[in-house]
A and B are shown apart, each in its own frame.
Chain A
Amino acid sequence: AQSVTQPDIHITVSEGASLELRCNYSYGATPYLFWYVQSPGQGLQLLLKYFSGDTLVQGIKGFEAEFKRSQSSFNLRKPSVHWSDAAEYFCAVGARQAGTALIFGKGTTLSVSS
């Protein structure tokens, strides 16, 4: 079955500390992986995506993610968290074709403490 697992429901990080959000996937075909961020009551904003090539991808707002095929993981990282990073983060997997929907994980809520 195709699925995305985000093991951490809620994470609290001190401002300035590093962050890692975990994502594991199960997908039958070659996975195309995404991380989105959602602020309360808002739509989703793409942070970064992995299609192929370099397994370490850089995104917006200082985020990066590393694709590890052997571990079926695509963890999101940021070296220094800012208070404005507090939001809901979703990992998603999809097929290469545009006609297929993305499958989302349940999300991780990030809180940032001062």
Chain B
Amino acid sequence: AQKVTQAQTEISVVEKEDVTLDCVYETRDTTYYLFWYKQPPSGELVFLIRRNSFDEQNEISGRYSWNFQKSTSSFNFTITASQVVDSAVYFCALSDNSGNTPLVFGKGTRLSVIA
């Protein structure tokens, strides 16, 4: 069965600190996609990244980076030099062909960046 676990419910950091948000997933499928979405206080989830199961290269986009490790079924997200605007709820999600659910989300990690 599909499952996404974000063990960190809430994280609080001081501005300019680096922070890593953990995501562990379960799937029986060999072809799947992993996503991260950001939900700012406005409520609208914003797409951050999509990664397919055949591409384990780490990705960097500005202050954001993602570490995909199939061996540990993890897709962790790191924010470098955090800023107050990074404060939001971050969701990791999984999409595969093994179930009917289009996108399975974790419970989210609430990140608070304090000035």
A binds B: no
